[in-house]
Amino acid sequence: MGFITKMTLAMVVLSLFQKETKGQSASTATLTRNLLALSDPEVRPNADRTGPEITVNLFVTGAEKAGRPNVVTVGFWVQMLWIDPRLSWDPAQYNNITTVYLPARKLWLPNFAVWHSANPLEPFFSEEQRIAVVTSNGAVAWSPKGVITVYADQVTPGNYTSGATYQTQSIIGDWDLQDVEISVKAVGTTVDLSQQKNSGLQVTGTSLRSVIQSFEGFGRYPLLEVILNLQEQTRSA
């Protein structure tokens, strides 16, 4: 085969391949375009009436002392789910597609903060998780990592057989003043510890619940209360 023939063959194969790929993603591409055209990161879902309910599930990944007396840092995976009716579609009109992956920065996202953070400038969410999973009923699932740095009360001192124990209470929820309508609901009554890695400080018990915090003139904020019991590990343990 001559050089030109090989080139031609390669180009034909390439163009066939491109056509094939283009064909197989066409419905997803159209759907993504149509959804993003209706999406508005500045306006919360159902803004004219109330707001979304955000269901939250927390997994501890690890805890450590933050280098200041009675301050601890705890890492999480944060699973969140809410309905944004602007992001729903009829699968029959899009080749039966029921799930798309959309860039999170183009969607409305909750602006969760740790209310009494010991590191007030530290954002709660990491910026790595850039994709949200959206299903045809408008359900948005977004699972970034989260970190809290908070004050902890020492409950018992350490000794040779067991380390000191601490308890910390954190309030997590939407920080923006206009967002009193956003409801936050915990999936369960505890934080999941199955993903926790061993460190010098172990989370030994948790409690998780929805609370309402009222502020004169500002309204009632639905928030999440996270209580963590922690124990320092001794060398023998």
Ligand X SMILES: *[C@@H]1O[C@H](CO)[C@@H](O)[C@H](O)[C@H]1NC(C)=O
Please, what is the minimum distance in Å from the beta carbon of residue 24 to ligand X?
A: 12
CB nearer ligand X, residue 43 or residue 237:
237
Are the CB atoms for 108 and 84 separated by under 8 Å?
yes
Please, what is the minimum distance in Å from the beta carbon of residue 167 to ligand X?
A: 13
For 47, the token pair is 């803004």
Does the protein bind ligand X through residue 198 (CB under 6 A)? no
Q: Can you tell me the distance from the alpha carbon of 211 to that of 217, in angstroms, rounded to the nearest whole number?
A: 18
Does the protein bind ligand X through residue 236 (CB under 6 A)? no
- Binding-site member from 28, 34, 119, 162 for ligand X (CB under 6 A): 162
x/- letters, 89..128, toward ligand X (CB under 6 A): ------xx--------------------------------
Q: Exposure of 74 by Cβ count < 10 A (0-12 exposed, 13-18 middle, 19+ buried)?
A: buried
CB nearer ligand X, residue 36 or residue 164:
164
Outline where 166-214 has alpha helix (H). none
- Binding-site member from 2, 33, 67, 159 for ligand X (CB under 6 A): 159
- Residue 175: which of 119, 110, 102 has the closest Cα? 110
Are the CB atoms for 66 and 118 separated by under 8 Å?
yes
Are the CB atoms for 150 and 117 separated by under 8 Å?
yes
CB nearer ligand X, residue 108 or residue 166:
166
Q: Can you tell me the distance from the alpha carbon of 84 to that of 39, in angstroms, rounded to the nearest whole number?
A: 9
Please, what is the minimum distance in Å from the beta carbon of residue 137 to ligand X?
A: 16
Does the protein bind ligand X through residue 156 (CB under 6 A)? yes
- Binding-site member from 161, 189, 198, 236 for ligand X (CB under 6 A): 161
Please, what is the minimum distance in Å from the beta carbon of residue 28 to ligand X?
A: 13
| CA-CA-CA-CA dihedral for 49, 114, 138, 102, to nearest 10 | 130
Residues engaged in binding ligand X (CB under 6 A): 95-96, 156, 159, 161-162
